[in-house]
Structure 1
Amino acid sequence: MTTVAVLGGGIGGLAASYYLCKSPQVTKVIVLESSSRFGGWLWSTRRSDGAVFEHGPRGIRPAGAVGHNTLNMVDDLGLGGDILPVPYSHVASKNRYVYMNRRLHRMPSGLSGLLRTVPPFSRPLLLSVAMEMLVKKGVEEDESVHSFVSRRLGKELADIAVDSLCRGVFAGDCRKLSVRSCFPVLYDAEQRRGSLTLGMLLGSGPSPAVSPGPLAQRSVTESWAQWSLSRGVESLPESIAEFLQRSGRVELHREAAVQQISPSASGWTISLEDGVVSADHIISALPAKALVSILPPSCQPLIQLLQDIATVTVAVVNLEYEGSILPVSGFGHLLPSSEDQALLGVVYDSVPFPQHDRTNGRTTRLTVMMGGAWFHEVFGSPDTVTEERLLARATEAVHCHLGVPTAPSWSRVSLQRDCIPQYYPGHFRRVESMRSFIRENNLSLSLIGSSYDGVSVNDVIFNGRTAVEQLLGTGV
């Protein structure tokens, strides 16, 4: 393996390049990014007064093999001293809210929360958990998240908690999302143990082997629920890009949009606006739809499969208010689709990460997320909606939900187009078919990124590592 071209300079493409650099088998890595910056959806605004605002992911979970893998990378990049951990004992971890029937409800937590009837639920959640163990295993190879949870835990829990959760994580409709692809742990628990409860207690299956380094071990010892970095999560892709630059084996190209890729005798010919690049292998970290537009006609079956992967657009509105304006303390609140289709949720950024507040004078930072699977229905085309309209809708939500009468002192509206892929039932089969086509046609091509095997930062990084290990036939 001599030259590998990585298409896309988001966190997936950068992670794959990082792992490629760890191998002596790779002589040269060429990273081609169409925009003017690396990092993709990991995007932070840093103001001169010390305030940090996130326009994409804001907190990363440390748990499990994929969480440990990311922390091992953070350690290796020398970012351990910049970590901002949020333990499970923190109020942001313990208090999460749902806004329903025009009021905030704290979600049940702990044993006491399971034993009591806590609004907006009509009965103790422990009853649903106890009954779940008696439910027969499903026979379908996949189903919607809403169908799965309704069947096992009851419609009320699906309509409120799971509906809200899917809007917060995927900006998606739980009635359309695949349980097998979006929540594989739940699917595996039912398949292997016949029960979610038993699956959680006994384990639902093998997990990837990742040896936790010092930082990952610290996250376990200190019981972290999530973490960020002192200069925002964009510090991670920035540090990877610096590492790649220093390696001497990586060419980093910004504003290098790929026009076409064509198989050649030695691998691929990659056509850019201003020239041609040759590579022995391509790792595509592009969104599925972007890959569709550059594949050759000979890949028509793959193109059709890629076209089936839908995405949603999310409006992310960062707000800053003078003083302490929150009526409650916690991570934030979500809304079920029955309450307000436009509003996905509000994150109380100053609670988990007060270190990102400005250094002079008390303020409260919030992020309002809107649209997702309901964007076109509520706001129309992303091409025609104005920032003023989105800002007005966001500030109205803060006023109504949190009782904040004042206007924000600072705001920023970011329209994140096609930012989260939607895994519909059968998604795993589509991805299997894509990779089968690649194998059967001996294409030197790897597919990574959030379009295929998980949308979280941890998933995307780990899948970049997995693709490199498969390509090189070794552990990295």
Structure 2
Amino acid sequence: MRSVTVLGGGIGGLAASYYLAKNPQVTKVIVLESSSRFGGWLWSTRRSDGAVFEHGPRGIRPSGAVGRNTLNMVDELGLAGEILPVTYSHVASKNRYLYVKGQLHRMPSRISGLLWTLPPFSRPLLFNVVKEMLVKKGNKEDETMHSFVSRRLGKELADIAVDSFCRGVFAGDCRKLSVRSCFPPLFNAEQRRGSLILGMLLGSGPGPMVPPGPLAQRSVKESWAQWSLRRGVESLPEAIVEHLGQNKRVHLHRDTPVKHVSPSASGWTIHLEDGVIHTDHIVSALPAKTLSSALPASCQPLIQQLQDISTVTVAVVNLEYEGSILPVMGFGHLVPSAEDQGLLGIVYDSVPFPQHNRPDGHTTRLTVMMGGAWFQEVFGTPEDVKEVDLLNRATEAVRCHLGVTTEPTWSWVGLHKDCIPQYYLGHFKKIESMRGFIKENNLPLSLVGSSYDGVSVNDVIFHGRTAVEKLLGAEV
């Protein structure tokens, strides 16, 4: 393997490049990013007064093989001293809320909370738990999240909690999202143990082996629930870029959109606005639809399947208020679609990560998330939406939900177009078919990124690693 070109400089492309550069089999790694910055949706604003605001992912979970893998990378990049951990005993971990019927309701965080009837639910959740263990295993090869949870835990839990959860993670509709692709541990627990509860207690089967490094071991010892970095999560892609920049085999290119690619005798010819690149293999971390527009006509079956992967647009509004203005302390609250389709939830950023507040004076930072699968229905086409309207909608939500009557002293409005892929029913079949087409036609092409195997930061990094290992036939 002489040269590999990575398309896309978001965290998926950077992770793949990081693992490619570790292997001496690859003599050249070329990274092509169409925008002026690397990092994709890992995007932090650092104000001159020391405040940090996240416009995309914020807290990253340390658990599981994928969580350990990311922490191992953080360790290798020398970022361990920048970690901001949030433990399970922290108020942000224990207190998460739902906004239902005009009120905030704290979700149970302990087993004792299952014994009592806690609004917005009409009976103790213990009944749902007992019922779940008696439900027969489903025989469908896939199922929507709403159908799956309704069948196993009851419709009320699906309508309120699962609806909200899917909006918080995917900004998506649980009545369309696939349980098998969006939340594999739930699907596997039922398939292997016949019960979600038994799956949680006994494990839902063997996962990938990732030995924990020093930082991952520390996360277990100190019982971390999530973590961030002192200068924001964008520090992670920045550190990868700095690391890659020190490797003479790696060539990083910003402001370099790919026009199209065509097969060549030795791999691919990549056509740019001002020239061509010849490469042996392509690792695409582009969004599925973007890749589809660059592939040659000979890849038509693959092109069609890539185009079938939908995405949603999310409006993100960061707000800063003077003083302590929250009526409750916790990570934040989610809003079920029956309550307000346009508003997905509000994150109380200052609670889990007070280190990101400006050092002088006490402030409260919030992030309001809106739109998702309901964006066009509520706000219209993204091109026609005005920032001032999104800001007004966000501040009104803070006023109504949290009783905040003062105006924010600082704000940032972002419209993240097509930022989260939606894994609809049967998504796993599309992915199997795509990779089957690539294999059958001996295409020197690997697919990584959030369009395929998971949308979390951990998933995207880990599957960048596994794609490189499969390509090179060796661990990295």
The reply to whether TM is greater than 0.5 is yes
DSSP-derived class of the 1:289 partner: helix
Residue of structure 2 in register with 1:159 after alignment: 159
Q: Distance in 1 between matches of 2:175 and 2:114?
A: 25
TM-score by length of 2: 1.00
- Determine if the alignment matches structure 1 residue 400 to structure 2 residue 420: no
DSSP-derived class of the 1:420 partner: strand
Q: Distance in 1 between matches of 2:219 and 2:417?
A: 33
- Determine if the alignment matches structure 1 residue 227 to structure 2 residue 227: yes
Instruction: Quote the offset at 1:122 in angstroms.
Output: 0.7
Q: Distance in 1 between matches of 2:88 and 2:68?
A: 17
Deviation digits for residues 370-426 of structure 1, max 9, x if unmatched? 000000000000000000000000000000000000110000000000000000010
Q: Distance in 2 between matches of 1:278 and 1:218?
A: 44
Residue pairs, 1:269-308, within 5 angstroms: 269-308=269-308
Instruction: Quote the offset at 1:131 in angstroms.
Output: 0.7
Q: Which amino acid aligns with 1:404?
A: V
Q: Distance in 2 between matches of 1:408 and 1:286?
A: 36
Instruction: Quote the offset at 1:108 in angstroms.
Output: 1.1
DSSP-derived class of the 2:382 partner: coil
Instruction: Quote the offset at 1:205 in angstroms.
Output: 1.1
Deviation digits for residues 293-327 of structure 1, max 9, x if unmatched? 10000000001111110000000000000000000
Residue of structure 1 in register with 2:250 after alignment: 250
Residue of structure 1 in register with 2:370 after alignment: 370
Residue of structure 1 in register with 2:434 after alignment: 434
Residue of structure 2 in register with 1:475 after alignment: 475
- Determine if the alignment matches structure 1 residue 117 to structure 2 residue 117: yes
Residue pairs, 1:20-169, within 5 angstroms: 20-169=20-169
Q: Distance in 1 between matches of 2:70 and 2:199?
A: 25
Unaligned runs of 5+ in 1: none
Instruction: Quote the offset at 1:111 in angstroms.
Output: 1.5
Instruction: Quote the offset at 1:13 in angstroms.
Output: 0.3
Residue of structure 2 in register with 1:187 after alignment: 187
Deviation digits for residues 137-172 of structure 1, max 9, x if unmatched? 111100100000000000000001100000000000
Q: Distance in 1 between matches of 2:125 and 2:354?
A: 32
Q: Distance in 2 between matches of 1:264 and 1:222?
A: 52
Q: Distance in 2 between matches of 1:89 and 1:344?
A: 26
Q: Which amino acid aligns with 1:369?
A: M
Instruction: Quote the offset at 1:88 in angstroms.
Output: 0.2
Instruction: Quote the offset at 1:187 in angstroms.
Output: 0.2
Instruction: Quote the offset at 1:253 in angstroms.
Output: 0.2
Q: Distance in 2 between matches of 1:88 and 1:278?
A: 50
Q: Which amino acid aligns with 1:333?
A: H
Kindly tell me the number of residue pairs found equivalent between the two proteins: 476
Deviation digits for residues 330-387 of structure 1, max 9, x if unmatched? 0000000000000000000000000000011100000000000000000000000000
Q: Which amino acid aligns with 2:165?
A: L
Q: Distance in 1 between matches of 2:143 and 2:195?
A: 16
Q: Distance in 1 between matches of 2:437 and 2:304?
A: 12
DSSP-derived class of the 1:316 partner: strand
Instruction: Quote the offset at 1:206 in angstroms.
Output: 1.2
Q: Distance in 2 between matches of 1:252 and 1:129?
A: 51
Residue pairs, 1:289-328, within 5 angstroms: 289-328=289-328
Deviation digits for residues 183-217 of structure 1, max 9, x if unmatched? 10000000011110111111111110000000000
DSSP-derived class of the 1:383 partner: helix
DSSP-derived class of the 2:84 partner: strand
Instruction: Quote the offset at 1:247 in angstroms.
Output: 1.2
Q: Distance in 2 between matches of 1:188 and 1:326?
A: 39
Residue pairs, 1:261-276, within 5 angstroms: 261-276=261-276
Q: Which amino acid aligns with 2:175?
A: R
Residue of structure 1 in register with 2:3 after alignment: 3
DSSP-derived class of the 1:139 partner: coil
Deviation digits for residues 109-129 of structure 1, max 9, x if unmatched? 202111111100011111101
DSSP-derived class of the 2:246 partner: helix
Q: Distance in 2 between matches of 1:260 and 1:373?
A: 30
Identity of aligned residues (%): 79
- Determine if the alignment matches structure 1 residue 466 to structure 2 residue 466: yes
Cα RMSD over matched residues?
A: 0.4
Q: Distance in 1 between matches of 2:209 and 2:28?
A: 28
Question: Hey, which bits of structure 1, 4+ residues long, moved more than 2 A?
Answer: none
Q: Distance in 2 between matches of 1:248 and 1:68?
A: 28
DSSP-derived class of the 1:247 partner: coil
